[in-house]
Amino acid sequence: MFRPDDTIVAVATPQGKGSLGIVRISGPEALALAKGLLDHSAQLKPRYATLAKIIDHIQAQEPSGIDQVIATFFPRPRSYTGEDVVELSAHGSPVLLERIVGLALLQGARLAEPGEFTLRAFMNGRLDLVQAEAVGDLVNAVTPLQARMAFDQLEGTMTGLIASLDVRLFDLIARLEASLDFPDEGYHFIKTREVVQSVEELLKQVRELLSGAASGRLIREGCQIVILGKPNVGKSTLFNYLVGSDRAIVTSEAGTTRDLITEVIDLDGLAVTLVDTAGIRTAEGSVEAEGVSRARQAIGVAAAVVVVLDQSRVLGPEDWAVLEETAKMPRVMVLNKADCSRSWSSDSLVGGDRVVSLSALTGDGVCVLRETLREILVGIDLLRDTPRIANIRHINLLERAATALESAKSAANEAAGEEFILADLDRARTALEELTGKRTSDDVLQHIFERFCIGK
């Protein structure tokens, strides 16, 4: 998949018009190619912004100017990709940018695959795999917290931790190998007690990293929260209040929200997909039945549910049915319509559920609901210190490393031969190397980079 010999081109800025648009060219011919696009007076001094004109020397009958751009040449190896790179900052019209790319293609460039610039950066050792993935996460971040976590990884926080683990693992392996190579000297390069101790320390660090995994994943991937309740309790009103717009239809007629309405909200840094449902009552029409079945599916993947009850009306069988159906899920009970007079007390709800009284109409108490939801999802303090591990690939590999270290520890404790301990330690090391990309298969790379956008 990696063809380092050709020169690639792509628009690096998002689709659609903007004040500026950037065309990026990378590869051995980047400079020559850029020169072919620009007016002849343009001198591309490394890392200097140069005002130049894009000239069509090829398609037009006589050379004609297309746009005025700022061209910047980044010579290899100190560029994003590690290759010669030229960035052309043009006016952000999609047709204009496509035309510039088209001219570059006519000069022999190839259109970049998704993520190919970053793939090249990885291949040329400018980034390790964890950092390359962080680039993708940073571009895809929808909450500031996601962006912070991704940037942390891009800065090499995780890379540094893994490197320090790897150094210690390597040292342990080297000493054990020495003992294995000179068995007759009657001299051990490392005592069993030391082996156990070193492995235990490594395990402790790996486990520490893994301890933040659940909240890390939640931050990176976001989660789903479903609003449930019988018709007319105020689900859509609450949904709208949380979303901060009028995306869902609010009506006093029962059963109008037939389909699921979803919206992503930023819940203190967590990207939460909020789902408004038609309820899970017994449906009469077929359209409504479809809505109910979709609601059930949404509940199936939800991280938590919000059960809305109307405190101005006595609870009915439909309320109890919803309560029963969600009994085993992480949930918050919302006693809505707090602005009206109460007709029952929350004491009638048994169990240790979290209960929030609010008015979706006025918004009074909704902030308590937000806090409660966040608390259910990640715990109060977890978000203060950003977890360092969030990617399922990283989690799996660290778990593999932990299992191997675990087994090395038992082998050492049982005074098994060095070769057994070594085999386990090697497995742990392989997992770490797969994490940083020192060892990776093409499949893994492809899987990672195809999720990127073109131009990144």
Ligand X SMILES: Nc1nc2c(ncn2[C@@H]2O[C@H](COP(=O)(O)OP(=O)(O)O)[C@@H](O)[C@H]2O)c(=O)[nH]1
Please report whether residue 111 would count as binding ligand X according to CB under 6 A. Answer: no
340 contact, one of Mg ion, ligand X, none, CB 5-8 Å limit per kind = ligand X
Position 252 contacts ligand X (CB under 6 A): yes
Q: Which value, to the nearest 10 degrees, does the dihedral of the CA atoms of residues 204, 164, 381, 351 take?
A: -40
Only one residue has tokens 């793939």, namely 119
Residue type for position 410 = S
CB closer to ligand X out of 186 and 317: 317
Residue 7 binds which entry of Mg ion, ligand X, none, CB below 5-8 Å type-dependent: none
Cis peptide before 77 (omega within 30 of 0): yes
Residue 257: helix, strand or coil by DSSP?
coil
Separation CA 220–CA 271 (nearest Å)? 8
- Per-position x/- string for 176-215, each x denoting binding to Mg ion as judged by CB under 5 A, each - no binding: ----------------------------------------
Binding region for Mg ion (CB under 5 A) out of 26-34, 106-114, 155-163, 227-235: 227-235
Q: Which of 7, 72, 153, 232 binds ligand X (CB under 6 A)?
A: 232
CA angle 354, 356, 362 (to 5 degrees): 160
Selected from 94, 231, 330, 365, the binder of ligand X by CB under 6 A is: 231
126 binds ligand X (CB under 6 A): no
**Nearer CB in complex with ligand X: 172/360:** 360
Binding positions for Mg ion, 248-267, rule CB under 5 A: 257
Q: Cβ contacts of residue 38 below 8 Å, gap of 6+? A: 44, 52, 53, 54, 55, 69, 71
**Which member of 118, 143, 198, 236 binds Mg ion (CB under 5 A)?**
236
Nearest position to ligand X, beta carbon: 234
Q: How far is the CB of 329 from ligand X (least distance, A)?
A: 19
Among 367, 363, 317, 316, CA closest to 338: 363
Strand 18-26 relative to strand 50-56, pairing: unpaired
As a whole number of angstroms, the distance between CA 288 and CA 286 comes to 5
C-alpha dihedral sign at 126, 129, 131, 132 = positive
Q: Note the residue count of the chain.
A: 456
Least gap, CB of 231 to ligand X (angstroms): 5
Among 361, 366, 453, 454, indicate the residue that binds ligand X (CB under 6 A): 361
- Contact string (CB under 6 A) for ligand X, positions 410-429, x = contact: --------------------
In the complex, least distance from residue 320 CB atom to Mg ion, rounded to whole angstroms:
20
Q: What does the alpha-carbon distance between residue 154 and residue 156 come to, in Å, rounded to a whole number? A: 5
Among candidates 347, 349, 314, 355, which has minimal Cα distance to 331? 355
Cα-only R_g, the chain: 29
Q: Which stretch binds Mg ion (CB under 5 A): 230-238, 324-332, 364-372, 407-415?
A: 230-238
Least spacing, CB of residue 104 vs ligand X, in Å: 53
CA-to-CA separations, 279 to 14, 160, 341, 427, in angstroms, rounded: 38, 49, 24, 50
Under rule CB under 6 A, how many of the chain's residues touch ligand X? 19
Q: Is 306 in the site for ligand X (CB under 6 A)?
A: no
Tokens of 55: 């000239």
With binding defined as CB under 5 A, does residue 336 bind Mg ion? no
Nearest distance, CB of residue 327 and ligand X, angstroms: 20
Give the residues lining the site for Mg ion (CB under 5 A). Answer: 235-236, 257
Give the residues lining the site for ligand X (CB under 6 A). Answer: 229, 231-237, 250-252, 257, 336-337, 339-340, 359-361
